[in-house]
Each structure stands twice: as C-alpha cells, then as structure tokens.
Amino acid sequence: MATPSGWRRDGNLPNELTSFVGRTRLLTTLRQRLREHRLVTVTGIGGVGKSRTALRIAHLMRGQFKDGVWFADLARLQDSGMVRHTITSALGIADQSSRSADETLVEWLGDREILLIIDTCEHLVDACAALFEDLLSNARGLTILATSRQSLNARGEHTVTIPPLTVPGDSPGEDVFSNEAVQLFTARAGAVVPNFMLDEQNIGPVAELCRRLDGIPLAIELAAVRMRALSVEQILGLLADRFSLLAGASRTALPRHQTLRAAIGWSHELCEPAERLLWARLSVFAGDFELDAARYVCSGESLPAEDVMDLVASLVEKSILLSDGTPSGHRYRLIDTLRQYGEEWLEKLGETAAVRERHRDYYLQLATRSEEAWSGARQVYWYVRMRHEHDNIRVALDYCLRNPSEVQSGLKLLSSLWFMWVACGLAREGRLYLEKTLELTSQPTPERCKALWVLSYINSAQGNISGAVDAAEKCSSDAVRVGDSGAVILATKMLGTAAFLQGDLQKASALLGVAIEFHKSGRELNPGLLPSIVELSMVLLMQNDPAEAEVLLRDCIAVCTQRGELWLRSYAIYALASVHQAMGRAPESMANAREALRLKRNFHDVLGIGLAIEVVAKQALDDGQPVLAARLMGAGQANWRTFGMPQMNSPFFNAEHDRCVKECKRVLGEQAHEEAFAQGKKLNLEELIELALGDQESDDPLPQM
C-alpha cells in the first residue's frame, strides 16, 4: 500500500481529473503575473473556474519552483484562527512543537522557493490577507496564488479576474467551432456520449446554448452531462424556458450569478427526488468522503441505506459528484459551488441539525474503531484512512464545539484519536482542540479524564514537561472523583513519561513499573503497556543496565510482531539500537536504527525519526564518517526545530547530542563541521531518511546542493 511518508520536494498538487479547455491567453497572463508578483489573487464569480485555472497553472509551473508547488483548500474551514494551521498541515509539516504556529511556519518556509496555492479564501478574507502579508515579508522564496470571489486587499496583492469563457459572437470573425465555450461543451459532451461530434447540424444549438449559459464553465459542464438523455436542441429548449421564466419572460440576459444559479437549479430539478435529497445531505461533508460514510450519514427517512450506492453513482454520472481512487478506497466529493447549493436545500428541508449530528456520530464511531484497531495488523491502513478523513474530523469537532450539549462527545472524539496527535504528526492541532474543548467544561467525567491524559501525552512529545505534569495530575485527581481506575493508571504512566524526560529516573522507574504491572495482561497495548516498556528500558539504559533493558525490549518487540503492531515496534527497535550502541555492538546498533527508520516511514512520526537519526549519526561518527554524522545532525536539528523541542527537551538526550556534536567538531574542525552541518539543514525529512539509510562506505566530500 502506498502511504504518505515525509515531506515531498515536488509538492502536493491534486490530480487534474478532467482536461483543461481553452484559457490560453489567461494562462499566459497568470504565468507572467506570478513571475512579476509574489501575491496573485484569482477572482471571479462562482463556477467560473477559479480553482480549476489555479490548478492548471500550478501544474504548468511546478518545475519553476525548486521546492515544489503546494495546495491548501480553505473551503470548509470556518475558524479564522485555524487558517495558518491548515496551511501548515497541507505543507506536510508534522508540527509537534508547542511554539506558535507563526514561528513554525515562517521558519519552515525560510528561503525555500515555493508556490503556494490557497483555494477559496472569500469567507476568510481578513485572516488570509494578514497571514499572506506576514509570510511574504518573512519568506523570500515564497509566491502565493490565491483564489477568492473578492480581492483580499492585501499589501502587494495583484488580482487577475477570471472571466467566463468567450461565447460565439464575442469576437467578430471568430470560427465558431474554435470558440472556447463551444470547445468545452464538446469535450464534456464527448465524455458522456462517445460518438458525439460537433457538425454543421448541431453547431447552431450548441453555440446558442453556450451564449445562454454566459460561458460559465460549471453551467456548461452541467448542461453537457444531459447529453446522455437529451439532444442539444432539447437541452436548449428546456433551459430557454426556465431562463425566460426567471427573467420575467423578457429577452434581457440574466446577471451571470443568476445564470449559474439557474443552471444549477435546472440540474437539480432534473434529478430524481431521491437524488436531490442525497445531494442536500451530502453537503455536510468536508472535502471528500467514502461510500460507507454517505450511506450512514445520508440514509434515513425517504432514503433507504441500500439505495445510496446507486444514487451516488447516478450523481457521479450527472457530474454533481466527483469520484477519485485513493490508497484507502474510492472517495467522492461535491464541487464547492454545488455543495453550497445543497446546503441551502438542506436548510430548506429543515434537516441541517439532524444530518450534521449523524455526520458527527459517524466520525465518532470511526474514531473509536480506529483507536481499537490501532495496535493491530492494519495500523498503516488506519493511519492513511484517518489522514484522509482529517477534514471531516475537523467538521465533526467544530459541530461539538458550537453546541454546548456536545462537549463530552467532542472530548471523546478528540481523545479516541490520540494516535493521530501523538504518532502521526498532528500534535499541535490535537493540543489546540483539546485545550479549547477542555475549557468548555470543568465537570469531572470519564471523557474529560481521557482527554487530560491525551493532552499530557502530547505535551510530553512536544517537550512541554510542565504542561504534561499539570494535565496528568488533573486527570488523576478527576479520575479518583469519578472512579475511573483506568484513567488513574494512564495518568500514572504519563507522569512516568514526564519524569523520564526530566531525568528523574527513580520516579520514572516506579511510575512506569506501575503502568506495566497494570497493563501486562495485554488489554491495552497502546498507549499503556508498550510505550511504558520502551520508556522503562531507556530508564534502565540511563541507569547503566543495558542488559536488562535489552531483555525488556526483546519481549516488547515479540509482542508487537505477534500483533502486527509497527509504530511502537519502531520505537522498541530504536531503543534496542541505543542499547546496542552502549554495549559496543556497533553493527547491530546501526542495523536496528535503520530498521526503525524504515518502519517510521509508514507514518509521519517526526519525533521518532529524530530520535533514530541521533543513533545513526553517533554510529557514523564512531565508524569514521564524521562528515556524514555532521550532516545527519544538521538535518536532524532542522527537523527537530520545525517539529518540536529538540530532543524533547530531555537532559539525557540533549547531553548525548551535545557530546556527538563536540566530537564531530574535534575531528573535522569548526569550519568543516559548520559546512557539513549547514548542508544537512537543507535536507527535508524524506531526504534525511534516505541519507541515513544509504550505504555510506566512505566519508566522501560534500556534494553540491
């Protein structure tokens, strides 16, 4: 299974699902503007093709930005305070730090040469304008292309308005067969009726249809889909009747936004009643969704669950829904303009609250299932699946935050996804949501207890030890009041983790020992038993007892192997590499550290990668490869700085790191070390892993980067 691994230098552009027709002059203009200006906003009415044009130019120019072209969609984002975080997430930054999002994003961008596409900004104009000004003033290599129905009025902004396509008659003397709107209709009609040909018999009605639709691409595409059942003349006749009624039976053209509304409304009317109902209910989804989700959320009164699959297929055929295959399954999504239309109908039907509640229920159940399955053989599947569901998780969380009666459900949803926040590179987002939700209730409940120990776990990962201790102590106190013995033990485990990171080995040993004793029946491998074993083994290593640590780790690895668990297994193998390093077993140490990195590639586990890199770097130094060691340390520190507190702010890990750096400087000299270290800092996460996994037989001179 293909899975997300690390940061990709080429970017994250979505695939172009349909051919791009026309707009040659516009694309040339946009290309020129992006060469001259660092902030370009594409404006225009809904359905005119802003997003599609931005995506096309992004694909055309991707080779001109050495650090890639990146895409972030803000369509379903409602909280202006999450704009920066959403962009950070889209860039693949597994931000585990407790620093401000401002500092992290600016530092990560640095002097990288990047084109950033920010889609659908009109409902967040002020937040986007402020953010873009800040980023552009601090990141010299950044260029931003935004899409919005209105200008952002940001400093340095240059706007390019996307007009409708030219229609027959706009350009005197133009060959009607080569007209942009006509070409688009022909391409889309040919996709649904393979033998459709534009000829002298149908060119007149096609040209008139394109004129009636004002050259608006979405309206033309919706009309073209009707070629499955109607002739061009029939489509034109039906549409002309509708427009005539809307315009008061006059020949006056409708304003373009009304033209689009009329075209969408006509498509809506031509849908069967069940299709219209499904369209409305599907509008609650953010981004894309799977068929099972649609079946659960949208079925009910007047719409049996067994009918949803056929209705989804029908909406795909009508181009209401887009369909795309992913590693975790087939997914569907509504074009944003059509989703907004569906939202309006859902409100008219009086079903908005009920369907949003079912949406929340589905993702709460999915989160619970993913947590239960996390320690098993399908761990990678659940990582990929829940990353795909990220946007819908946010919508479900926002629903809980906006409804006081749903706070406990919000806490349950958040805490069930502890592995996303801790293991999958979304620590900051998890912490922000947890803190925001916990502020809404102070009443001790099992849901609040679980949220508190998850918050403690996240704070430890970020190196915020005082925050970790505070959350764990609150959890323990609340858990005693509500009689939640499991939460008491997990709070104990989290206090043990904090003590381990602080270097209080006696306290850490006692607390982690309690957690292991409670969990050793295997009822809760993660985050109870297995992390406690790995952390206790590291405590033993710090206490100069590597032999006992090795025994613990081999037992842990055996349990992981038996269950098919990979994430914690990678930590156990990393810890074993550290143990072997301390025992002078160099080949085993290097082999295990690299194996840990290979496993961690399945997840965006930056914290674990950073720890394993330290072992590889120290072993490279011991093996007589100081340049490689310095490069690894430079790359490792750059990623630590971006993703969290270096070495989790642990005195032990910091001391080990400093010893390695000092020895590298002694062997190489200050200048050579700084050059190697600086070269390493330019590597992204994936390049860092590749360097660490490579066969480095000699200490070759540094390549030109």
What's the pLDDT at 435? 95
- Reading the block at residue 670, the tokens are 């200050």
Using alpha carbons, list the distances in angstroms from residue 444 to 433, 435, 441, 458, 483.
18, 15, 8, 20, 10
**Which 3 state secondary structure label does DSSP give 81?**
helix
Architecture of domain 377-590: Alpha Horseshoe (1.25)
Q: What per-residue confidence (pLDDT) applies to 637?
A: 80
CB atoms within 10 A of CB 271: 17
**What residues contact 452, with CB distance under 8 A and at least 6 apart?**
438, 471, 472, 474, 475, 478, 487, 491
pLDDT under 50 in the chain at which residues?
Answer: 1-7, 245-253, 695-705
Residue with tokens 């589905």: 362
pLDDT of residue 424: 83
Q: Nearest to residue 392, comparing CAs of 432, 448, 435, 332?
A: 332
24-161 is classed CATH 1.10.150.120: no
Contact criterion met (CB below 8 Å) for 617 and 696 = no
The pLDDT tens digits for 505-518 are 999 999 999 999 98
Which class for 414: exposed (0-12), middle (13-18), buried (19 or more C-beta within 10 A)?
A: buried
Residue 702: predicted pLDDT: 37
Distance in Å from the first CA to the final CA of the chain: 32
Q: How far is the C-alpha of 611 from the C-alpha of 249, rounded, in Å?
A: 72
CATH 3.90.1710.10 for the 273-350 domain, yes or no: no
- Distance, in Å, from the CA atom of 320 to the CA atom of 557, rounded to the nearest integer, reads 49
Q: pLDDT at position 700, please? A: 42
For residue 225 the two structure tokens come to: 């889909």
Residue in 185, 227, 207 with CA at minimum distance from that of residue 22? 185
**Contact (Cβ atoms closer than 8 angstroms) between residue 192 and residue 224:** yes
Q: Which helix (H) or strand (E) holds 40?
A: strand 39-43
100 burial type by CB count under 10 A (0-12 exposed, 13-18 middle, 19+ buried): exposed
Instruction: Name the pTM for this structure.
Output: 0.83
Distance CA 603, CA 567 (A): 8
Pairing of strands 329-334, 321-326: antiparallel
488 contacts 526 by C-beta, under 8 angstroms: no
> pLDDT value at position 662?
92
DSSP 637-654: HHHHHHHSSGGGG-HHHH
CA distance linking residue 607 with residue 94, whole number of Å = 9
Any residues with CB less than 8 A from the CB of 34 and at least 6 apart, and which? 40, 57, 61, 115, 143, 145
